[in-house]
Amino acid sequence: MVNKAYRSILALSAMTASLSSVALEAIPDDELNHYTGQAFITVDASSYSDATLGNYEFTRVNLGLDIETLSNADELRIGEFDRSYGADGTAPIVDDNRNIVFNADGSVAVHDADIIIQNFALGRVDNYNDPENAEIVPFKIKDPYIELAYKTDPGNSSIRRIAGVRIGFGQAQGDLSGDLISLTGNLEGEIRGPGSIAYDAACGTGGTATWFQCIELSLAANTEIYAEVKLLDGATGEATLDGAPYLKRASWIGVPTGTNFESDDSGLIASLIPTLTNSEDCAVIGVTACFRTTIYQSVYVGDPTQDFENGSASGAFISLQLESVPWEDLSGIAGATRVYTEKGAFLNIAKYADSSGQQRYPLYLDLYNALTGEPRVATCIGRTKGC
Please report, as residue ranges, which positions from 182 to 211 form the binding site for another protein (by CB under 8 A).
193
The 3 state secondary structure assigned to 6-41 is HHHHHHHHHHHHHHHCCCCCCCCHHHHCCCCCCCCE
Nearer to another protein by C-beta: 280 or 323? 323
Interacting residues with another protein between 347 and 386 (CB under 8 A): 356, 358, 366, 368-369, 371-373, 375-376, 380-386
Interacting residues with another protein between 230 and 289 (CB under 8 A): none
Q: Is 196 helix (H, G, I), strand (E, B) or coil?
A: helix
Nearer to another protein by C-beta: 345 or 350? 345
Of residues 91, 94, 113, 187, which one binds another protein by CB under 8 A?
113
Nearer to another protein by C-beta: 236 or 300? 300
* Environment class of 366 (CB within 10 Å of its CB; exposed 0-12, middle 13-18, buried 19+): middle
Nearer to another protein by C-beta: 52 or 158? 158
Q: Exposed e or buried b for every residue in 92-111, given b needs 16+ CB within 10 A?
A: bbbeeebebeeeeeeebebb
Q: How many residues are given for the chain?
A: 387
* The one segment of 14-22, 87-95, 237-245, 246-254 that binds another protein by CB under 8 A: 14-22
* Environment class of 120 (CB within 10 Å of its CB; exposed 0-12, middle 13-18, buried 19+): buried
Q: In what order do the strands lie in the sheet with 252-254?
A: 290-292, 252-254, 224-232, 189-194, 363-366
- Show the binding pattern over residues 31-70: x = contacts another protein (CB under 8 A), - = does not: ----x-xxxxxxxxxxxx--------x-x--xxxxxxxxx
* The one segment of 1-9, 85-93, 201-209, 240-248 that binds another protein by CB under 8 A: 1-9
Longest dimension (CA), the chain: 98
Of residues 97, 205, 275, 305, which one binds another protein by CB under 8 A?
305
Nearer to another protein by C-beta: 62 or 278? 62
Q: How many residues form the binding site for another protein (CB under 8 A)? A: 108
